[in-house]
Amino acid sequence: MNDQPVLHVKGRVLVGPNEIHDELWVIDGRITYDRPARARDTRTVEGWTLPGLVDAHCHVGLGPHGPVPEDTAEKQALTDRDAGTLLIRDAGSPSDTRWVDDREDLPKIIRAGRHIARTRRYIRGYAHEIEPEDLVAYVAQEARRGDGWVKLVGDWIDRDLGDLAPSWPRDAVEAGIAQAHRLGARVTAHCFSEDSLQDLVEAGIDCIEHATGLTEDLIPLFVEHGVAIVPTLVNIATFPNLADGGESKFPRWSAHMRRLHERRYDTVRSAYDAGIPVFVGTDAGGTLPHGLVAAEVEELVTAGLPAVEALAATTWSARAWLGRPGLEEGAAADLVVYESDPRADVRVLAAPRRVVLNGRVVG
């Protein structure tokens, strides 16, 4: 045992939705359920304990106009940490955030490399903007740069059409996704509209971000292929303002965005009811602030997910999906302690009592 104090976490430890322990200990930054024989220094934390929360769609190092300085990225990561988010799937960033891996006080990041978009079909400064014939090469590049994920921009506004439209022809996404899979990476895609989804799912995509275009006729296809969704409802809440801003120039697009927004809760509930895996993501970075994970869980409950399932989407299920441990024997002690049972009221997530990262109390 080293000089790091033993941490004693007691109360109700939610190892799983129905697996509850009365206490755990943290020794040398790792979880154990075996009481230590002796400890020179012990600190006790008490309450309702969850695994560190997961934000499965977040952008550390990204600002409204593209990459941000390291000190700004640090503030983003700290804001997420203090909200209880200790594991981030960074769904596309032009910044190199590998330095975060050397900081034990910052959340762990699973990177998807940089967004890959069609030329002039995404937010300027965010993505590699390429043509279909280059997709396989860029997918390979970002698969090697990332941590097992690649992020495509599946659709965006087509200025000639005046509405959302798919970014890639079917053969290009088939080849790109196959290349990612050969390199051991999963693929996700930004998708607002209906028209991009069938080709992406049938091409083997692993996840769809936002998924506002998911319709009843497409749901069985998602179920058949085991495709997950990350709805980012706190981001979808911005659609009416976006629509207002584009009304004069792109009225067809504006009307479409409003329809997608109006049915957002029905879309998510229908997906959940059908058995499509749903995970929490905030789309923080860019124009949205960080630290919104509790608000997104509450939005999933508003959409109709049971509270325990909404919690699972940012804890037990999300960690399993991303291949990272929770409150397991020997795992890194990344956990959040609350005043009361979050299964009874998910709003408690907005006020962590204590945040423990790598075995140290950081908040």
Cβ neighbours of 2 (radius 10 Å): 7
Tell me the C-alpha to C-alpha distance, in Å, between residue 19 and each of 54, 271, 306, 321, 330.
19, 26, 18, 19, 17
Model pLDDT for residues 265-293, shown as the tens digit of each residue: 999 999 999 999 999 999 999 999 999 99
Burial track 113-143 (b if 16+ CB lie within 10 A, e otherwise): bbbbbbeebbbeebbbbeebeebbebbbbbb
Do residues 107 and 88 touch, judged by C-beta distance below 8 A?
yes
Tell me the C-alpha to C-alpha distance, in Å, between residue 294 and each of 57, 130, 201, 270.
14, 36, 29, 22
Do residues 232 and 190 touch, judged by C-beta distance below 8 A?
no
Please name the residue ranges forming H helices in 204-263.
219-225, 233-236, 239-246, 251-262
Q: Pick from 318, 89, 55, 118: which is nearest to 187 by CA?
A: 89
- Residue 355, both tokens: 């945040």
Q: In the chain, which residues have pLDDT < 70?
A: 1-3, 39-40
Give one DSSP letter per residue of 92-133, joined into a string.
--SS--GGGGG-TTS-EEEE--S-EEETTSS-TTTSEEE-GG
Q: Is 224 helix (H, G, I), strand (E, B) or coil?
A: helix
Q: What is the pLDDT of residue 57?
A: 98
Q: Pick from 343, 296, 326: which is nearest to 83 by CA?
A: 296
Alpha carbon of residue 293 to chain centroid: 9
Distance CA 21, CA 13 (A): 5
Q: What is the pLDDT of residue 1?
A: 42
Q: What is the pLDDT of residue 248?
A: 96
Q: Per the confidence metrics, is the pTM higher than 0.95?
A: yes
Q: Pick from 195, 292, 172: which is nearest to 237 by CA?
A: 292
Q: What is the pLDDT of residue 41?
A: 79
Residues 6+ apart with CB under 8 A from 150: 112, 113, 116, 139, 142, 143, 180, 185, 186, 187, 188
Model pLDDT for residues 54-92, shown as the tens digit of each residue: 999 999 999 999 999 999 999 999 999 999 999 999 999
Q: What is the pLDDT of residue 37?
A: 82
